[in-house]
Structures are given as C-alpha cells and as structure tokens.
Amino acid sequence: MVGIIAASLFVSCADNTEAEGHMDGEHHEEHHEGDEEGHDHEGEGHEGHDHMNEDEDMSDKIEFGPKTVDTSAAISTAELVSQFEGKAEMEATFKGEINEVCSKMGCWVNIKTEGEPFMVRFKDHFTIPTMTEPGTMAYLTGTAIQDTVSVDDQRHYLEDAEAPQEEIDAITEPKYTMTFIAEGIRLDK
C-alpha cells in the first residue's frame, strides 16, 4: 500500500501530450523510450524540456507558467477534490499546500489533501524553484483529469525517487487517480 501511495507522489517530467488529456501509461512509456532525446533523469542537464536556465534567479519570482492565475477565482483543495468526483476532466483554479516538489528541476509538485496527496504536472514543462519548501501555499490554474497510472509508470516514479526495491516490487496493479495539469502557479510567499 505504501508503494502505491508513494508511486502517486513521485512523478517525473512527462510528455506534454499528457497535459492535453492523454494521461495514460502508454504515452508516458512512449516518452521514456526516447530517453536519447534528452529525458535522462540521472544526467546533470535534464535536457529535452523547456526548463528555465539554471543561472536564472527564480528566488524572488512568485508566478510561473504560461497562464496568469486569477487568485480571486480559487476554490479550496477540498472543494476541487469534491467537485471533481465522478468527472473525467474539469477546469479549475484552486489554492493548495505543496507537499513535495520535483527535486531534479521543479517540474511537478504534489498537493496535500485530507486524504492522499495528488500530483500536479506543469503544462509545457515550465518549472518552479526546486527549493520551494513543502508547506508553501500556492494558487494553481489548469485542468484536473482522471489518470490511469500503469504498473510500469508507478515503478518508474519510485525508481526516480530512489525508493527501496521492496516498495517498487510491491506495485502490482494500475492506479486510478486525479492529476492536475497546471498552466500557471502563483506561490503565496
């Protein structure tokens, strides 16, 4: 069970066809078959994505992504989860607490809920500072989608997170969960 929960928490940079509603395991696997295209998580450069220049100072910046977030339209994370129930897709702006940030490039976050955290992937691979602290409140705008995470993808995410092999081996079933594709994020510093 811990492995399944952890798998949902560790999301590597995924192909942006996912951000357009194609969030299934086969698209993620196709993206990773092309690691020679620059999606090598172990490489220093983490090339292949439109990440900000490492020299660019993002510490004072609070807004990221191609779309400006209208904070006045934000609902709570609990409302997002409740309103999404039974839907396949839903546009929304919400305020939530960051539970975890991609430590490699800041290209995804997990949002804390009363239950299991959910993943947020950034459309067009924009990034936020990797030093963004868990507990930071953020406003996000984009689309919540119903996602199927294959066994292979769950195991891949755990491998990216350097999880113990017993957790990786414990993954035996696909996971069905909500994922949020953010077009903009505003950190509440």
- The pLDDT tens digits for 72-90 are 999 999 999 999 999 999 9
Average pLDDT over residues 110-123: 93
pLDDT at residue 167 tops 90: yes
Q: What pTM does this model have?
A: 0.69
- Asked if residue 89 belongs to a domain, the reply is yes
pLDDT at residue 47 tops 80: no
**What CA–CA distance (Å, rounded) separates 87 from 111?**
19
What the block records as the tokens of 39 is 């999606």
Q: Count the domains in the chain.
A: 1
The burial of 59, by beta-carbon neighbours within 10 Å (0-12 exposed, 13-18 middle, 19 or more buried), is given as exposed
The burial of 119, by beta-carbon neighbours within 10 Å (0-12 exposed, 13-18 middle, 19 or more buried), is given as buried
Q: Which CATH number is 122's domain given?
A: 2.40.50.200
- Asked if residue 122 belongs to a domain, the reply is yes
- Asked if residue 52 belongs to a domain, the reply is no
- Asked if residue 51 belongs to a domain, the reply is no
